[in-house]
Structure 1
Amino acid sequence: MTQASTREDLWVRRYHSAPDSPMRLVCLPHAGGSSTFYFPVSKALSPAVEVLAVQYPGRQDRLAEPGIESLPELADRIFEALQPFTDRPLALFGHSMGAVLAHELALRMRDAGLPDPVRLFVSGRRAPSCRRDEDIRLRSDAGILDELKALHGTDESMLNDPDVLDMIMPAIRSDYRAVETYRLASDLLLSCPITVLTGDDDPRVAPAEADRWREYTTGETDLHVFPGGHFFLADRAADVVSLVADRLAAGNATTALAG
């Protein structure tokens, strides 16, 4: 096995191979999340779109690896692992921390001379210019646990199991360190369209903060506010997948005309 294929196997999961799809959608999980969060998305979009779900270190089958506490470093590692997949147009979808990573990956694509993403989907995250002072990374395990329960994004049975918590807490804490200490270092504007998704009752993102993602591209931006909190996309999965499919189909048609 080559070094490149090793990186691919570690970082990128293809749950439904779609060799004839015209594009790929890279999906990036939230803080504490894993690639399996996007298994239903992969199933729903295949074979029209091949979904690449990113697996961060420190969780599931990468549990023995330390988490990465710098978001730019994490983006660098993911971008390196995605190189074998740039033979087809890429779209990027990230939720919460994953939205920031998706934007960082788009910037790296531009810096590397690759085409901008077909579309950038940012979900459950305010624009980088909308900073809030957050200290979840500094809390005790009990304090972090309270935050996870308040966001309703993690199975309650897992959060109530001490053995499971012992396994997942280091990755959750390192993810929060990465995203809470992150500051955007580039003033480069993208040219791709950005689709913004948010919940109308998200305690971490106000719709006006989400809407400011339009400041980061010269392309079109559309904002979609769904009923629900921070993990609205789990409750509104069918609507979210339908929106993503529609936007990607439009992007594919545009790419075909340009070609």
Structure 2
Amino acid sequence: MSPNTAQRWLRRFHPRPDAPVQLVCLPHAGGSASFYFPFSQALSGSAEVLGVQYPGRQERHNEPGLTDLHALADRITEAVAEEADDRPLALFGHSMGAMLAFEVAGRLEDSGTPVAALFASGRRAPSRHRPPENVHAFTDEQLVAALAALDGTDTELLNDPDILRMILPAIRSDFQAVETYHYRPRPPLRCPVVALMGDRDPRVDLDEAGAWADHTAHSFDLRVFSGGHFYLSDHQTAVVDLVRQHLIASGPLGAG
């Protein structure tokens, strides 16, 4: 992968080459790197945030989306490895991004790149399966209704036909990648894992979130916030503080 290709996948909203840790943030299905702009801003004194930009959205809207989550994880791992330096590297993913963060963490560890921590938000553990809803096969109207029910997409966007024509293909690709994902059993990760969820999230329950403990040989923590699938939009300060505290505890931020 060329550096130019790697740059297409990662966004630095607040470049901090002097920050003690890099935090790679992976968005939800249909999401873009800009979802993590507030996180990047809030953490800029502690970490350099790299937001992952999937194909098929924003400035990459002319690129076809990837419908295989493992293929997507392969490409993201290459981009992250290209941009990684000698600083500790942590991963934060929400919903689909949590599954991708897990897969990327495993690939990095397998290749000899240590991971400082994995933060898995709004998603059941990889080994926990639910029958797929096949949302990617919904009609446009059904897909829009499903997105509205999760409260993660601006209603103005969902009511704009021109914007919908532009974003729905990428959203379908993402949902197909999630719904056709098959967990490939592997040894537990060697990094700490922190699972986060909303107490009214229809996509993950307490038992499914707690099962992330089975995927690490290190420490595990589970935090529950009030709210639904996009609880973190209402608890940004608390989530940022939690991330910072865990990075301090695991070493990357040291005493800072």
Task: Letter of the 2:226 partner, please give it.
Answer: P
Residues 83-94 of structure 1 aligned to structure 2 (within 5 Å): 83-87=81-85, 88-94=87-93
State how far apart, in whole Å, the 1-side matches of 2:210 and 2:22 are: 25
Deviation for aligned residue 1:137: 1.3
In 2, are the aligned partners of 1:70 and 1:182 still within 8 Å (CA)? Answer: yes
- Cα RMSD after superposing both structures: 1.4
Deviation for aligned residue 1:102: 0.2
State how far apart, in whole Å, the 1-side matches of 2:178 and 2:249 are: 32
Indicate the larger mover: 84-93 or 31-40.
84-93
Question: What secondary structure, in the 3-state scheme, does the structure 2 residue paired with 1:185 have?
Answer: coil
1:41 counterpart residue number: 39
Deviation for aligned residue 1:47: 2.8
Residues 14-53 of structure 1 aligned to structure 2 (within 5 Å): 14-53=12-51
State how far apart, in whole Å, the 2-side matches of 1:175 and 1:89 are: 29
Deviation for aligned residue 1:5: 2.1
Residues 65-214 of structure 1 aligned to structure 2 (within 5 Å): 65-87=63-85, 88-115=87-114, 117-133=115-131, 134-214=133-213
In 2, are the aligned partners of 1:71 and 1:179 still within 8 Å (CA)? Answer: yes
Deviation for aligned residue 1:255: 7.3
Kindly tell me the number of residue pairs found equivalent between the two proteins.
253
Q: Which runs of 4+ in 1 moved over 6 A?
A: none
Identity level (%):
54
In 2, are the aligned partners of 1:23 and 1:252 still within 8 Å (CA)? Answer: no
Structure 2, unpaired ranges of 5+: none
Deviation for aligned residue 1:86: 2.5
**TM-score, normalisation: structure 1:** 0.95
In 2, are the aligned partners of 1:70 and 1:178 still within 8 Å (CA)? Answer: yes
In 1, are the aligned partners of 2:21 and 2:252 still within 8 Å (CA)? Answer: no
Residues 208-223 of structure 1 aligned to structure 2 (within 5 Å): 208-223=207-222
In 1, are the aligned partners of 2:118 and 2:194 still within 8 Å (CA)? Answer: yes
Shift in alpha-carbon separation, 1:186–1:166, aligned structure 2, 3 A: same
State how far apart, in whole Å, the 2-side matches of 1:252 and 1:18 are: 18
Shift in alpha-carbon separation, 1:184–1:245, aligned structure 2, 3 A: same
1:233 counterpart residue number: 232
In 2, are the aligned partners of 1:151 and 1:231 still within 8 Å (CA)? Answer: yes
